[in-house]
């Protein structure tokens, strides 16, 4: 039987909820995020039992979240599993190439994927990222340096970037 584990984490920017199977993190998001409920429903399909407990993936995540919010972790190592379309998965894989303390525009993300005319599709896929922080969609901003398009809220996006040493005015 497919087992799904879930755990909540209190962070300086609000409560986050994670779902993982035995091998990988499937969902990490702020519970008040725009798509949280939808993502939670998508992830829980196909799993027979949902346990509110730790497993090795969630224990590692807890340790890494704590270190990240203390400014001591610049790259997550928790294993992840993407659930989405092939295009979305490519977008999310590209997000992992944006290092801690860096940012790029949606256009430059589309360019890096060799899909320069797909900037809207890239932005939409970013908004559907189910692995907040671990897959750093908060590091993608508008072409004019505006903090736009973050399902967790623009203020939270600004706080995450500031934690990483990036301060942009909006």
Q: For the whole model, what pTM was predicted?
A: 0.92
Domain end call among 44, 69, 94 = 69
Question: Do residue 19 and residue 62 come from a single domain?
Answer: yes
Angle at 79 between CA 84 and CA 85, to 5 degrees: 10
User: How many folded domains does the chain comprise?
Assistant: 2
Tell me, yes or no, whether 81 lies in a domain. Answer: no
DSSP H helices in the chain = 36-44, 56-69, 86-95, 106-112, 119-127, 154-163
Tell me, yes or no, whether 80 lies in a domain. Answer: no
Catalytic residue among 137, 158, 160, 163: 137
Residue identified by tokens 């901003």 is: 141
Question: Do residue 62 and residue 94 come from a single domain?
Answer: no
Domain that holds residue 40: 3-69
Tell me, yes or no, whether 47 lies in a domain. Answer: yes
Q: What burial letters (b/e) apply to 23-59, b meaning 16+ CB within 10 Å?
A: eebbbbbbeebeebeebbebbeeebeeeeeeebebbe
132 in catalytic set: no
pLDDT score at 72: 95
Q: What is the pLDDT along the chain (170 residues), one digit of tens a residue?
A: 578 999 999 999 999 999 999 999 999 999 999 999 999 988 888 777 788 888 999 999 999 999 999 999 999 999 999 999 999 999 999 999 999 999 999 999 999 999 999 999 999 999 999 999 999 999 999 888 888 878 888 899 999 999 999 987 65
Tell me the CA end-to-end span of the chain in Å, nearest whole number.
48
Kindly report the CATH number assigned to the domain that includes residue 53.
Answer: 3.30.160.70
Question: Do residue 53 and residue 7 come from a single domain?
Answer: yes
Kindly report the CATH number assigned to the domain that includes residue 107.
Answer: 1.10.10.10
pLDDT score at 1: 56
Domain end call among 69, 97, 117 = 69
Residue identified by tokens 């400014």 is: 71
């Amino acid at each position: 039987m497919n087992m799904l584990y879930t755990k909540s984490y209190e962070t300086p920017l609000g409560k986050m909820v994670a779902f993982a199977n035995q091998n990988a993190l499937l969902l990490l998001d702020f519970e008040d995020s725009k798509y949280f409920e939808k993502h939670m429903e998508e992830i829980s399909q196909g799993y027979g039992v949902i346990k509110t407990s730790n497993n090795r993936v969630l224990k590692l995540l807890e340790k890494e979240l704590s270190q990240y919010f203390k400014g001591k972790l610049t790259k997550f190592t928790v294993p992840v599993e993407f659930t989405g379309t092939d295009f979305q998965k490519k977008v999310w894989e590209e997000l992992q190439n944006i290092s801690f303390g860096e940012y790029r525009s949606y256009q430059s993300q589309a360019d890096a994927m060799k899909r320069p005319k797909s900037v809207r599709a890239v932005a939409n896929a970013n908004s559907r990222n189910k692995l907040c922080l671990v897959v750093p969609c908060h590091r993608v901003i508008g072409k004019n340096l505006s903090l736009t398009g973050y399902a967790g809220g623009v203020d939270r996006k600004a706080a995450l970037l500031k934690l990483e040493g990036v301060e942009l005015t909006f």
